[in-house]
Chain A
């Protein structure tokens, strides 16, 4: 792939969230982000596997 040297560097995925996490959690940002990433992965994996449907079908609160 031909890359033009003058092109601005692309923002890497997760980079923006990393900056936000640092602002919110300071020196503990990496620890909190690690815990959150693990938790979100677990959630995504379980949803993929079990294909749960919303209950109730219609939200109680809009």
Chain B
């Protein structure tokens, strides 16, 4: 029983490690994609059919807020702005 208990623990350890590795790879890639956006023009498609474009500045790590500059809104340009990520459906840019 000692053997099967320890091999079960091993199997759990391996599964946990696989899960952690997958999470790390996915997260590192996502952080890289945010870094790649810095200083680039980004188009945001938001709820209620709102479309805006801005120069991307930075994101907080919880992906709740984007700091942007020269935000082109339907009613004019806002020099500095924060976008709430829950307002956004998609955003896109070229690299």
Contact = CB atoms under 8 A, between A and B. Distances in A.
A binds B: yes
Interface of A: 24-28, 31-32, 35-36, 39-40, 42-43, 46-47, 50-56, 59-61
Interface residues of B, number: 35
A54 B84 contact: yes
Contacts of B12: none
B61 A47 contact: no
- The 10 A-B pairs at the shortest CB distance, nearest first, are namely A26-B20, A28-B24, A52-B80, A43-B58, A50-B80, A60-B87, A60-B47, A55-B81, A36-B61, A52-B82
B61 A55 contact: no
A27 B59 CA distance: 25
B69 A55 contact: no
Given A26-B20, A39-B31, A47-B67, A55 B58 contact: no
B34 A52 contact: no
